[in-house]
Amino acid sequence: MNSPLRTEAVTVHQIARPDGFPACEHFRFVETPVPEPARGTALVENLYWSVDPYHREMMDAEFALNAPLEGRTLGRVVASRDPALVEGTMVFHRRGWRTHAVVRPDEVQPLPDLPGVPLSAHLGLLGGTGLTAYVALTRIAPLREGDDLFVSGAAGAVGTAVGRFARLLGARLLVGSTGSAAKARYLTERVGYDRAFDYRDGPVAELLARAAPDGVDVFVDNVGGDHLAAAVGALRERGRIVRVGTISQYNRRDAPPVRFDHADFVEKSLRLEGFLVRDHGDLRDELYDFAVPHLLAGRLTSDETVVVGFERIVAAFTSMLRGGNTGKMIIRATGA
């Protein structure tokens, strides 16, 4: 068994519950010797980390204090004591926010060899982000060819994936909301959205009415709040809403309730459904069959904000929560 070259491992612990936006003082970097794998496990040196909005929700209660945080991660098996985990294998696992992790075979997914596909895509379009977008558009609120679609938080990881997938699935009009004029231009110039607006420019309902005066068929919601209310009013008969996230409330426990005309759900036969991507892992192969050919042909591109250096993971996370990313926020190990 070959030992890794590094002699210390670094993990990030949450040490306090934030009230509002998290800050550096809510975390601590902890150094320990690189762990040795026990029989039936392997040591993974992590190379890419994902920070996601759902981490903020988990900080309120689900993450244990003074213990390593969890998250989606890609790494290389560097020492193994289980024949199912061959040294040198690249794997996906959820024991992130640390430089090294000891894992069992049932805790990892070996990455397929896909020449021409960036490794980071396994955290983005081929990972939980892409699976979220794919499930939303094919299972929860099935997109029909020619449908018009509105996406809130459209410049984020899921929002950009939804836009790119929806175009490939035959959407007619794509409208997105985002938090700056620069991101709105990115959506229309790079991602494939037809129209995009900065939600800070006025009431969302008015901005959406200008962008989609004839209404929309599907709303993919990453934000909640006034975006959800605006979409309910804009949806056509038999419109569908898929709830992916509620970014507007993650850092505001006192956020006011959403106000909309509840009669719209009856009079327009609307449907609203949310889901957790962890319940749809059985569709991962289907996602690969859909996305990989488009990636290899150049019809599909990953939208990423890449931060280099594990020591910047907390700063990247807090930046993401304040809209500092376009597309997927990924941390890459120095030298990876």
The pTM for the full model equals 0.93
Helices 128-135 and 157-168, interaxial angle, to 10°?
50
Residue where the block lists tokens 């938090």: 179
Beta strand 27-33 pairing with 8-14:
antiparallel
Q: Can you give the pLDDT at residue 258?
A: 75
Check: CB of residue 336 under 8 Å from CB of residue 316: no
In the predicted model, residues of the chain with pLDDT beneath 50 are 1-4
What's the confidence (pLDDT) of residue 107? Answer: 97
- For residue 7, what pLDDT is reported? 78
Query: So what's the pLDDT on residue 252?
Result: 62
pLDDT of residue 1: 40
- Give the span between the Cα atoms of 85 and 39, in whole angstroms: 12
How far apart, in whole angstroms, are the C-alpha atoms of residue 133 and residue 251? 23
Query: What pLDDT is recorded for position 3?
Result: 41
Q: What does the pLDDT read at residue 336?
A: 86
331 burial class (0-12, 13-18, 19+ CB within 10 angstroms)?
Answer: buried
